[in-house]
Amino acid sequence: MGASGPDAVQPVTVHRPARAVAPARRWSVEAVQALLDQPLNDLLFEAQTVHRAHFPEGDIELATLLSVKTGGCPENCGYCPQSAEFDTGVKAGKLMEVDEVVGAARAAKAAGATRFCMGAAWRAPRDRDVEKVAALVAAVKDLGLQTCATLGMLEADQARQLRAAGLDYYNHNLDTAPEYYGDVVSTRVYQDRLDTLAHVRAAGISVCCGGIVGMGETPVHRAGLIAQLANLEPYPESVPINSLVRVPGTPLADSEPIDPLDFVRMIAVARITMPKARVRLSAGRQQLGEAVQALCFLAGANSIFYGDKLLVTGNPDVETDVQLLRKLGLKARRVANEESCA
Ligand code: SF4
């Protein structure tokens, strides 16, 4: 072939935007912003490259979330239908009994879940609540499932008690950037979240911590959230990225929805900055559709909440998820009791 034939490969120079160099394990907001601003294909390529270096098998972890105590929460998180301040139709309930929770955990395991998360709508549990949740944790752990709980703010001794009962993970989200936090919730401050995360870490419990986008935050706030998460020492083992489910009656019900491709960008940047974390597609997955979810998996998401309900909002039904994973050639992770997802 001549120089002008199809075999003539011309060297291609890829112009990448200048990126602030982050010192090892520390991410500035500007550095995260530079990642978010990349051309989408460059960002996806980088995220998928990082992903394959750390998760070569391409498996998807299935997690199931059960609301063990619903509604009536005294906090005023602007996105949450369980706050007692908002008229959302969610009725306050009592903490579920052990046998009810075990039944749900058994069903989740049979459906393929490997981790079972129990959520309770509390500002902070009382010591007697922690005792009861510890019994739930021990019972779920006995089924051979990883255990996770999200109960609000924890004191150091409460975290130790839950660890002793067999708690593997504690979920406590940072929600958004510190600068935007006061626009979302006013009944606590960012430092409260960081303190609970520190207590959880000190107790030897793995951390599940992420945030929510589509709450009216700016792109800089989104970069700020990722920088906060990535700069935790160490960064969380699980990073749920939620797209706001706009529930009527909550203050954020009329927020402008996030562009789906901006959501994909958030997943990719979470993957790049926290390479060993399980990045989880969480609330709002139902609204994304199959094609955007596929892009999220390409961007490095490797965990989903699985089941018909995510606390009190809808989630794609189990059969739809099974079909989607099959269509994409992804494998559900069914290994229980792995020590760490990283
Ligand atoms: S997100 Fe949690 S702490 Fe905030 S109102 Fe809802 S249940 Fe309460």
Check residue 322 and give its pLDDT: 81
Helix (H) or strand (E) holding 62: strand 59-69
Separation CA 146–CA 16 (nearest Å): 41
- Tens-digit pLDDT profile for residues 138-149: 999 999 999 999
In the three-class reduction of DSSP (H, G, I as helix; E, B as strand; rest coil), residue 85 is classed as coil
Q: Work out the angle at residue 184's Cα, subtended by the Cα atoms of residues 181 and 186, and round it to the nearest 5 degrees.
A: 80
Question: Measured from the CB, is residue 77 less than 6 Å from ligand 1?
Answer: yes
In this prediction, residue 4 has a pLDDT band, given cuts at 50, 70 and 90, of very low
Separation CA 116–CA 108 (nearest Å): 8
Question: Measured from the CB, is residue 82 less than 6 Å from ligand 1?
Answer: yes
- Tens-digit pLDDT profile for residues 84-141: 999 999 989 999 999 999 999 998 888 878 889 999 999 999 999 999 999 999 999 9
Separation CA 322–CA 62 (nearest Å): 11
Between these two residues, 61 and 19, which has the higher pLDDT value? 61
Separation CA 258–CA 281 (nearest Å): 15
Beta carbons of 305 and 242 less than 8 angstroms apart: no
Judge whether residue 22 has pLDDT over 50. Answer: no
Judge whether residue 3 has pLDDT over 80. Answer: no
Pairing of strands 169-171, 331-333: unpaired
CA nearest to 167, candidates 109, 115, 220: 115
Q: Which of 8-17, 23-32, 95-104, 315-324 has the lowest mean pLDDT?
A: 8-17
Out of 163, 193, 208, 209, the active site residue is 208
Who contacts 28 (Cβ-Cβ below 8 Å, separation ≥6)? 20, 22, 227
Question: Which residue is closest in CA terms to ligand 1's atom 4?
Answer: 77
Place of tokens 């609301």: 67
Tell me the best of 65, 68, 70, 80 to mutate to test the pocket of ligand 1, counting ligand atoms within 8 Å of each CB and taking the most. 80
Could you tell me the distance, in angstroms and rounded to a whole number, from the CA of residue 275 to the centre of ligand 1? Answer: 29
Could you tell me the distance, in angstroms and rounded to a whole number, from the CA of residue 150 to the centre of ligand 1? Answer: 10
Between these two residues, 15 and 273, which has the higher pLDDT value? 273
Query: Residue 123 CA: which ligand 1 atom is closest?
Result: 3
Q: Which of 51-65, 71-85, 97-111 has the lowest mean pLDDT?
A: 51-65
Between these two residues, 63 and 316, which has the higher pLDDT value? 63
63-87: average pLDDT: 93
Check residue 25 and give its pLDDT: 55
Question: Measured from the CB, is residue 316 less than 6 Å from ligand 1?
Answer: no
- Tens-digit pLDDT profile for residues 205-242: 999 999 999 999 999 999 999 999 999 999 999 999 99
Helix (H) or strand (E) holding 165: helix 156-165
Tell me the best of 69, 70, 75, 117 to mutate to test the pocket of ligand 1, counting ligand atoms within 8 Å of each CB and taking the most. 75
Average pLDDT, the chain: 87
Q: What are phi and psi of 121, to 5 degrees?
A: -85, 80
CATH top-level class of 29-333: alpha beta
Alpha carbon separation from 83 to 50, 91, 109, 196 (Å, rounded): 38, 10, 30, 20
Separation CA 17–CA 31 (nearest Å): 11
Separation CA 255–CA 18 (nearest Å): 32
Beta carbons of 38 and 16 less than 8 angstroms apart: yes
What b/e sequence results for 282-314 when a residue is b if at least 16 CB atoms lie within 10 Å of its CB, and e otherwise?
bbbbbbbeeebbbbbbbbbbbbbbbbeebbbee
Judge whether residue 7 has pLDDT over 70. Answer: no
Beta carbons of 331 and 114 less than 8 angstroms apart: no
Out of 115, 148, 193, 222, the active site residue is 148
Is 208 one of the annotated active-site residues of the chain? yes
Check residue 283 and give its pLDDT: 78
Is 296 one of the annotated active-site residues of the chain? no
Question: Measured from the CB, is residue 73 less than 6 Å from ligand 1?
Answer: yes
Who contacts 110 (Cβ-Cβ below 8 Å, separation ≥6)? none
Residue boundaries of the structural domains of the chain: 29-333
258-264: average pLDDT: 95
Could you tell me the distance, in angstroms and rounded to a whole number, from the CA of residue 52 to the centre of ligand 1? Answer: 35
Check residue 282 and give its pLDDT: 85
> Distance from first CA to last CA of the chain, Å, rounded?
49
Separation CA 340–CA 342 (nearest Å): 5
In the three-class reduction of DSSP (H, G, I as helix; E, B as strand; rest coil), residue 318 is classed as helix
Question: Measured from the CB, is residue 152 less than 6 Å from ligand 1?
Answer: yes
In this prediction, residue 9 has a pLDDT band, given cuts at 50, 70 and 90, of very low
Could you tell me the distance, in angstroms and rounded to a whole number, from the CA of residue 76 to the centre of ligand 1? Answer: 7
Question: Measured from the CB, is residue 80 less than 6 Å from ligand 1?
Answer: yes
> Which pTM was predicted?
0.87
Judge whether residue 323 has pLDDT over 50. Answer: yes
Is 209 one of the annotated active-site residues of the chain? no
108 backbone φψ class: left, alpha, beta (φ>0; ψ -120 to 50): alpha
Query: Residue 83 CA: which ligand 1 atom is closest?
Result: 5
Separation CA 260–CA 43 (nearest Å): 15
Query: Residue 185 CA: which ligand 1 atom is closest?
Result: 4
Who contacts 324 (Cβ-Cβ below 8 Å, separation ≥6)? 290, 293, 294, 316
Could you tell me the distance, in angstroms and rounded to a whole number, from the CA of residue 6 to the centre of ligand 1? Answer: 60
Is 341 one of the annotated active-site residues of the chain? no
**Cβ atoms within 10 A of the Cβ of 31, count?**
21
Judge whether residue 180 has pLDDT over 80. Answer: yes
Separation CA 78–CA 75 (nearest Å): 9
Q: What is the CA radius of gyration of the chain?
A: 20
CA nearest to 77, candidates 296, 311, 263: 311
